[in-house]
Structure 1
Amino acid sequence: MDNALLEQLTLWHNKNQYKKIINKIIEIPEADRDYDLICHLGRALNNQDNYNEAIKCFLSVQEQGEHDSLWHFRIGYAYYHLKQYKEAIVAFEQSAALDPEDSQASMFLNMSINAAARAGDETIHIVNVEKELRMGDDPRLLEVEEKINPFGLVAHHNGSVSMILGVGKYKHEIFQTRAEEGFEGNGYDWGSLAAVFLEEKMPHFVDVIRFDPEADTFCVYSDNIEAILGFAIAFKEACEDDALMKDLFSRAVLD
């Protein structure tokens, strides 16, 4: 793939113009689409919630993606949203193994494990998942996670705990109220909203709660377990109060 096309696809991705990416790549004959192009197409299909077609794309270059952590992450992302948790776990396990520094793979791996457990999928037997990627030995984590669904919790080996959300549908209508200003409901927008909530409702935790959002994932974390669990419960309760959410969001700053 030439650099000009790569820059254009990246620009569209950053602006969430996924349909343009799909249309552009589809214009290119299949025989001329290389591995990178097909992966860009699969990612855009994921972002358009077209997960079945995304999986077809990724599987068409499965051999080339064997040692690519992003390939495993992206196909895992599609499986996760199709609630095919067994396949998602395998994919995120491999992604995390290939790139141990990728916190997103670890988070989605944990989310998949927990979702599978909630779904009662007894066919899943995880062998290689490291202990720190599970909920750990603290029963409070699973108890709180059940209360804050669709948010999830991830316990890390360094003792910190993250609160995460794969953004998209949950409370999307709140962000639409300021869409003309550029808000889209992505992970950064959620971070801006949560920052207002933290500053106004839980200022005593401002110095211990940290933000680490991505475009498709909201994430806050802390090495103070009491603080992150308290924040998680309070923020989820706030999210269920649309009037409060809209009021808080009115003061959020676009990242």
Structure 2
Amino acid sequence: MDKELMEQLTLWHNKSQHGKIINKIMEIPETDRDYDLVCLLARALNNQEKYNEAIQYFLSVQEQGEHDPLWHFRIGYAYYYLDQYKEAIFAFEQAVALDPEDSHAKMFLEMSRNAGARAGNETIPTVNVEKEMRIENDPRFLEVEEKVNPFGLVAHHDGSISMTLEVGNYKHEIFQIRAEEGFEGNGYDWGSLAAVFLAEKMPHLVDIVKFDPEGSMFAAYSDNKDAILSFAIAFKEACEDDLLIRDLFSRAILD
């Protein structure tokens, strides 16, 4: 792929201008689109919630993506948001097998298994379902999960819990205050905001609650169940206090 084109597509992606990515790549004749371009096109379609279209493009380069963990992650992402959990689980399992250090693939694998279990998906191993359901059926977990919506809670097999948010809609106006500085409301910006909140409002949890955001998702996690649930409740309450969250955001550092 042309270096200048790649730089432009990356810039648009970082600014969440996914429509521009789609339009630009669609201008290129299909015969001239290499594997990377097709994957970037499909990723942009994912980010515009056009999951069925994205899957068709991913499948068109399936042979080339067989050993690419990102290909498996991205098609799994599309399946997950189409509620096709069996396919999502398989894709994320492949992504983790190819890249065991990919925390986001691991998180989505857990989310897919949890969602599949709730949907009665018989393909999920019984031992995993039982372990996850014990955690999810904890009354406090269920109570907190309801309170922190639209943030989500994901219980992992190792006992840790993640708090997640698919960014783009919730409280997006907060980040527009400092848009000229480069803030866009992506996962990294949410991470910066959450870090200020944690340091100023819950400093006793600074070394216990960790952040692992990406462009389209904010994620906080901890192996201390009480800590992450307390953080989740307090951070959601802060987000609903307009004056407080704007004040905290004024001290956020652009990642």
Note whether the superposition's TM-score is higher than 0.5.
Answer: yes
Q: Which moved more, 1:168-177 or 1:101-110?
A: 168-177
Give the distance between the partners of 2:146 and 2:92, measured in 1 at CA. Answer: 22
Q: Which moved more, 1:222-231 or 1:68-77?
A: 222-231
Q: How does 1:147-158 map to 2 (within 5 A)?
A: 147-156=147-156
Alignment match, 1:121? 119
The answer as to whether partners of 2:15 and 2:184 remain within 8 angstroms in 1 is no
Pair 1:101 & 2:138 matched: no
Name the aligned partner's letter for residue 217 of structure 1: M
Give the distance between the partners of 2:126 and 2:35, measured in 1 at CA. Answer: 28
Give the distance between the partners of 1:102 and 1:44, measured in 2 at CA. Answer: 20
Query: What SS does structure 2 have at the residue aligned with 1:150?
Result: coil
Alpha-carbon distance, 1:199 to partner: 2.2
The answer as to whether partners of 2:193 and 2:252 remain within 8 angstroms in 1 is yes
Q: How does 1:1-255 map to 2 (within 5 A)?
A: 1-117=1-117, 120-127=118-125, 134=132, 137=135, 139=138, 140-156=140-156, 160-255=160-255
Name the aligned partner's letter for residue 123 of structure 2: H
Give the distance between the partners of 2:26 and 2:128, measured in 1 at CA. Answer: 40
Q: Which moved more, 1:35-44 or 1:136-145?
A: 136-145
The answer as to whether partners of 1:19 and 1:44 remain within 8 angstroms in 2 is yes
Query: What SS does structure 2 have at the residue aligned with 1:153?
Result: strand
TM-score scaled by length of structure 2: 0.83
Alpha-carbon distance, 1:186 to partner: 0.6
Name the aligned partner's letter for residue 125 of structure 1: T
- Which segments of 5 or more consecutive residues in structure 1 lack a partner in the other structure? none
Name the aligned partner's letter for residue 89 of structure 1: I
Q: How much is the aligned-residue C-alpha RMSD, in angstroms?
A: 2.9
Instruction: Count how many residue pairs are aligned between Structure 1 and Structure 2.
Output: 253
Alpha-carbon distance, 1:217 to partner: 1.8
Give the distance between the partners of 1:209 and 1:188, measured in 2 at CA. Answer: 16
Distance 1:183 1:83, change over 3 A: farther
Alpha-carbon distance, 1:177 to partner: 3.3
Alpha-carbon distance, 1:158 to partner: 5.6
Give the distance between the partners of 2:107 and 2:46, measured in 1 at CA. Answer: 18
Once the two structures are superposed, residues 85-142 of structure 1 have per-residue CA deviations (whole angstroms, 9 ceiling, x without a partner) of: 343233222222222211101111222333445xx522453139968x9477583545
Give the distance between the partners of 1:158 and 1:110, measured in 2 at CA. Answer: 11
Give the distance between the partners of 2:57 and 2:122, measured in 1 at CA. Answer: 25
Identity of aligned residues (%): 73
The answer as to whether partners of 1:135 and 1:154 remain within 8 angstroms in 2 is no
The answer as to whether partners of 1:93 and 1:129 remain within 8 angstroms in 2 is no
Q: Which moved more, 1:219-228 or 1:133-142?
A: 133-142
Q: Which moved more, 1:40-49 or 1:78-87?
A: 78-87
Once the two structures are superposed, residues 154-173 of structure 1 have per-residue CA deviations (whole angstroms, 9 ceiling, x without a partner) of: 44566543322222222223
Alpha-carbon distance, 1:73 to partner: 1.0
Query: What SS does structure 1 have at the residue aligned with 2:49?
Result: coil
Distance 1:66 1:136, change over 3 A: farther
Give the distance between the partners of 2:189 and 2:6, measured in 1 at CA. Answer: 26
Give the distance between the partners of 2:252 and 2:245, measured in 1 at CA. Answer: 10
Distance 1:189 1:162, change over 3 A: same
